[in-house]
Structure 1
Amino acid sequence: MAQHGRRLVVVTVFVALTVLGLTWPLLHQLYLAKVTHGSAVDAESTITDYSATYRIDAEGRLTATEVLTVDLPAFRHGIFRFFPAADPTDPRGRLIPTISAITMDHQPVPVSYSWRDDRSVIVVQIGDPDVLADPGLHTYSISYTIDGVLVRPPSGSGAFTSHAGANRAAPSATFYYNAVGFWAMKIDRARVVIDLPGPSGLVQCAADTSGVTPCGLAGAGSERITVTAANLPPQNPVTVRVDLDVPLPDRAGLPWSVRFDKILGRSVSTVAVAALLSALAAAAGYVWARRSREPEPGHPVMYVPPDGLGPVQTVYIVNETVGDHALVATLLYLAERNVVRLSGGSRRWTITGAGAPEQWAALDPVSRKVGEALGVTTVGEVFRANGSVKAGRKLSEATIELTSSCSDWADTEGLMVTARWERVGRIAVGLAIPAAVAAFWGLFTLTMWGLPFAAFVIAGIGLLSTGVGTRRTPPGRGVWSRAAGFERLLATSSSEDRFDFSARNDLFTAYIPFAAAFGVADRWAQKYRTAVGSEPPTPGWYPVQRSGSPAALYSSSGFRGFDTVVAASISAYRSSQSSSSSSGGSGFSSSGGSWGGGGGGGGGTW
């Protein structure tokens, strides 16, 4: 149950991180909206003349050519042009340009393309990054097409300061666009010619909301509109709206707004593929993890531990891990077997060798390894657990020896074997985690490509559980059954599994190291109290202060105090190695303005 609870917590954390990894572009956009207080202004450059021709066909396709004469200052490479993908008249629509030609001074020029603001704006950088342009006048020509520029009326709100013509009937289509975009430099003169697929109705334009910067209109009622403006300040677009009495063409759209393009892209079929891959990855992870679980054998109550096993071996064959308190339990076991003597108090403990060679030889190999690691296998040899770095180093080495010797013992005795397919699964999950992080960060452009990796990790998280990668053999399952039955004796109440302490009083203290290894010493003591009606006996091999009582063994001054001192020593050593460490606790615990047309964009110099 504890392992299941930990797994649930890990899954919850991974799900939360997956949601964050998938949707961080939305949070990033909120951040950009909060910190952006205005667009940059290029006071050193000037567009002396801006001329554009927009041709709109009956299918709603815009074919545009913009010709800019730019007075560049020194130390500039060229200009850039940006196109926002969002359509302010339709959150499902996109206005994506297809660039057909770009020249500088009527000659080819290096051009690079990039997306910014989470794939909501495409930037066209014009100029050679390795060459500075000569200061002075340069003429740039940009030709492109955009589909879907005709929208359904009454789309295109805003305060228009100039009006011309009139609608003879309710319009069926509208062209709503920034005829002049948000350019970072001032514009001396601007002239835009708009060829329409039919005669215009009401034509409106605005260079600001007050009319301080006027815009001129000509050709209202015809298929060609001319828009003019002069002395435009930096970042000052000219927005035009033209009503038309022509059939409204179909427009491509997506089920989501441009805010989600960094997450989902611009293809429904691609999203479907990502969803399918995520489902398949989750299914593969779940099945893989499911098959890695060993079915538990029956474990009737056992009144003795498996023959020849020390406390840590007993825990290891049940849980495939030595547990959090293996070292302390082993030291208690060595004291109970009279091969060491324990002495000390709340902050300092001394472990003194007391066993003859034949006594050490009779112990299980795991417990013997701990004695060897601490150097107490000879009578009179002393090890002091005093919270020092030196003591912590030896205790850390003993812990490592303990863990490796358990694995070696299980392998040598033929109790466990390697499950290669499970280990491959562990590796797959281990590789999927950084792959998901990289994909969410943008390795594959869209954050949704992190979902298949994350789904595999979440569904297959059980592959990272303790014990995955090894399998108990038939003999190992037999030992597992007996060890788990013994754990049941130690951990369950007397009403469920009665133990005749009156006839086996000496076994209570003998089993304390095993209860400590399983982390159930409190329950083992409570079981004695419930069955006998008195405090459990004091083990002769564990020092108790004269002023204390047997009950004190299970308080902070007893076994818990010993555990704390050992943990503090290890922590001191790990801290000295510049690693973050935790003492682990006790094993005896019970617990633009407001207006602006679609598209248009703008630009500046670089």
Structure 2
Amino acid sequence: MLRYLVIAALVCVALLPFAARADEGWVLERFTAVIVIREDGVMEVEETIEADFGALQKHGIFRDLRTRFKCEPVKEGPEPLYPCPGGKDRVYKVVAQPVTDASGEAVEYKIEEIDHGIRLKIGDPDRTVTGLQTYHLRYTVEGALNAFDDHDELYWNVLSDTLVPTAVAKVTVVLPAGAEVETACYQGYYRSRERCKTASSGSTASYTATRILNAGEGITVVAGWPGGIVNVSPPLLEDRLSIDDFFTFDAAELGGAIVAALAALVLVLRLWWAHGRDRAYKTLYYLTNDPAEGTRSLFARRDIVVEFLPPERLRPAQMGVLLDERADTLDVTATIVDLAVRGHLHITEVAKKGWFGKGDWKFKKKEGSGDSLLPYEQELYDAIFEGREEVKVSQLKNKFASDLGRVKQKLYQDSVSRRWFKRSPESTRNIWLAIAFGMVGLGALMVLIAGLQFSRALIPVPLVLGGLLMLPLSRAMPRRTAIGDEALRRVLGFRLYIATAETRRQEFNEQQNIFAAYLPFAIVFGCVDKWAKAFEGLDEVAGQSTAAWYTGTGPFQVMAFTAGMRGFASSVSTTIASTPGSSG
């Protein structure tokens, strides 16, 4: 077994491990260790460490003692009498005693747990020292000896992985009287077979490095003696935590996991049904005016009747929120077009510069439309112009994202004020997203507790899975009220009208401005091409409806205008959502 030692200087600003890697200029002038092996198998170790800091200001040294080792198969040499089986850790019981200096005065030290061992932080954190400093360490070790068929043995890395050079390194091993010691000694880097000097006399053996040990080099001593002189107890073993420790996979655990899975599934579905499923009138409200309502049935048929006019004079963005429970950037873009159609601004297409120039559009403020703006529309209108009379779309790049957020927030507030939702859909999604993460976190904690305490980690796993299922489901948790559900039914009727407009082409030839008036709704519905197709061949009628609010770069043609409007919508949506850190 190996035992690693790390000695490092403490920098004067803080007690930090491995600080000497970045702060050379000092050495270990002398390292000596006396290891007395008692008849009961306990080792009494006394070390003297002489560190020369020179003119450097240091607080002291670190002394790392490794106390835990992973059991591994013996690759060469005889098998010990007491094996160290896989899946376990061999543990040394180390008890440290007071540290003193060269005059025998106590030196302040602190013990802390580190990976695979303990660390002695030796020195006063409030005082620095220079020059040659001597530290006497004493501690006992239990469980470090090995027993074989024909002998007992100590294999010990006394000094290993030092961070500074060591001028002199010497170790003495003392056994009970009557023991004849056989020795071996190695020096250098890890796995080095370079021999160091050994000598033995009776029950005492000495080991000395034959040269200065560089930083990172160490010294390993081996002492063997006939069995029966020292009571070598079986090693101290502890189970190493592994995945198998968390599970039993018996009937109780598997049955519990199945029950928990069913319970988690029922819980998630119940939460969605009770808090995410839309409310609806129990009868055809537009016929009966019966306010009785309930949760919309899973397979309920929605009676869609074509609406030839925007229901309740709703605006495009309002319909967009009703349709997908989101205030999308496309809804805001459609609102800009709607504001232009209603006479609040004029849109002018800017001619491209060169073959590879990007398209751009200019907004110009118009007054006296006689049409009042809703709060979210006023917020959008003010954010676009900011006191200016005109502005290009490109000028809004990386500057409009915060304004966009406020517009969306007012659009959500509008939907709540109309009693379509009891709470902002965005707030609802965020709340349920937090609940989902909470379920995952609680489930993970319960898995850890059940695994560590009862080896039944599988039972709470379904709670984690339920939380993961709730993550995407949180997007569907905004819940329309019965009023909102009825408004949605009517919006779907109007969308049906837009989507099937081609069948009513002859009607459009007789209606003024209908192409432009309903274009913003077609943008929200994703039906721009279908709406334009209905006016194919009616370029004059469609052109007259756009002339007052849109100026293109060429003669008006319905399909060309529609293609340009798609580019406009895409460009505006990307630009107003862009931030300085994005590429939009």
Q: 1:39 to 1:388 in 2, by over 3 A?
A: closer
8 Å Cα contact 2:107/2:122 also seen in 1 = yes
Question: Using the alignment, how far apart are the partners of 1:392 and 1:186 within structure 2?
Answer: 61
Name the SS for the 1:206 alignment partner.
strand
8 Å Cα contact 2:89/2:239 also seen in 1 = yes
2:237 to 252, 270, 285: 252
User: For residue 51 of structure 1, what is the amino acid of its counterpart?
Assistant: V
8 Å Cα contact 2:38/2:176 also seen in 1 = yes
Residues 1:500 and 2:503 aligned together:
yes
Query: Where does the alignment leave 5 or more consecutive residues of structure 2 unmatched?
Result: 1-18, 73-85, 248-255, 279-295, 351-358, 443-460
In the other structure, the counterpart of 1:405 is 410
Name the SS for the 1:335 alignment partner.
helix
Question: Using the alignment, how far apart are the partners of 2:264 and 2:523 within structure 1?
Answer: 39
Question: Using the alignment, how far apart are the partners of 1:179 and 1:565 within structure 2?
Answer: 72
After TM superposition, the structure 1 = structure 2 runs for residues 566-581 of structure 1, keeping only pairs within 5 Å, are 568=575, 579-581=580-582
1:129 to 119, 125, 132: 125
Deviation at 1:481, TM superposition (A): 3.9
Over the matched positions of the two proteins, sequence identity in percent amounts to 15
Name the SS for the 1:47 alignment partner.
strand
User: For residue 219 of structure 2, what is the amino acid of its counterpart?
Assistant: P
Q: 1:382 to 1:563 in 2, by over 3 A?
A: farther
Question: Using the alignment, how far apart are the partners of 1:83 and 1:135 within structure 2?
Answer: 25
In the other structure, the counterpart of 2:157 is 178
Residues 1:70 and 2:60 aligned together:
no
8 Å Cα contact 1:350/1:383 also seen in 2 = yes
Q: Which has the larger radius of gyration?
A: 2
Deviation at 1:327, TM superposition (A): 2.7
2:65 to 83, 90, 93: 83
In the other structure, the counterpart of 1:163 is none
1:113-150 deviations in whole A, cap 9, x for unaligned? 3456xx24542121212234474463502214354x35
After TM superposition, the structure 1 = structure 2 runs for residues 268-347 of structure 1, keeping only pairs within 5 Å, are 291=271, 294-295=276-277, 299=302, 301=304, 303-304=306-307, 305-338=310-343, 340-345=345-350, 346-347=359-360
In the other structure, the counterpart of 1:112 is 110
In the other structure, the counterpart of 1:385 is 392
2:199 to 205, 216, 223: 216
Higher relative contact order (CA 8 A, sep 6+): 1
8 Å Cα contact 1:193/1:226 also seen in 2 = yes
1:385-427 deviations in whole A, cap 9, x for unaligned? 35336x986x668645532332332222222213899765555
Question: Using the alignment, how far apart are the partners of 1:567 and 1:467 within structure 2?
Answer: 25
Residues 1:516 and 2:492 aligned together:
no
Residues 1:45 and 2:13 aligned together:
no
Deviation at 1:558, TM superposition (A): 3.6
Q: 1:243 to 1:517 in 2, by over 3 A?
A: farther
Question: Using the alignment, how far apart are the partners of 2:369 and 2:38 within structure 1?
Answer: 101
User: For residue 237 of structure 1, what is the amino acid of its counterpart?
Assistant: I
Residues 1:561 and 2:568 aligned together:
yes
8 Å Cα contact 2:197/2:210 also seen in 1 = no
Q: TM-score, normalised by structure 1?
A: 0.60
Deviation at 1:47, TM superposition (A): 1.5
Question: Using the alignment, how far apart are the partners of 2:521 and 2:98 within structure 1?
Answer: 80
Superposed CA RMSD in Å reads 5.4
Question: Using the alignment, how far apart are the partners of 1:365 and 1:81 within structure 2?
Answer: 69
1:480-527 deviations in whole A, cap 9, x for unaligned? 344356557767xx7xxx962335546665432123234x24xx4157
Query: Where does the alignment leave 5 or more consecutive residues of structure 1 unmatched?
Result: 1-35, 154-166, 258-263, 271-275, 436-451, 584-606
Question: Using the alignment, how far apart are the partners of 1:310 and 1:198 within structure 2?
Answer: 103
8 Å Cα contact 2:169/2:209 also seen in 1 = yes
Deviation at 1:100, TM superposition (A): 2.9
Question: Using the alignment, how far apart are the partners of 1:489 and 1:217 within structure 2?
Answer: 104
8 Å Cα contact 1:312/1:366 also seen in 2 = no
Q: 1:338 to 1:533 in 2, by over 3 A?
A: closer
8 Å Cα contact 2:184/2:223 also seen in 1 = yes
8 Å Cα contact 2:181/2:204 also seen in 1 = no
Q: 1:369 to 1:174 in 2, by over 3 A?
A: same
Question: Using the alignment, how far apart are the partners of 2:384 and 2:198 within structure 1?
Answer: 90
Residues 1:525 and 2:538 aligned together:
no
In the other structure, the counterpart of 1:445 is none
Deviation at 1:349, TM superposition (A): 1.8
User: For residue 207 of structure 2, what is the amino acid of its counterpart?
Assistant: T
Aligned length: 465
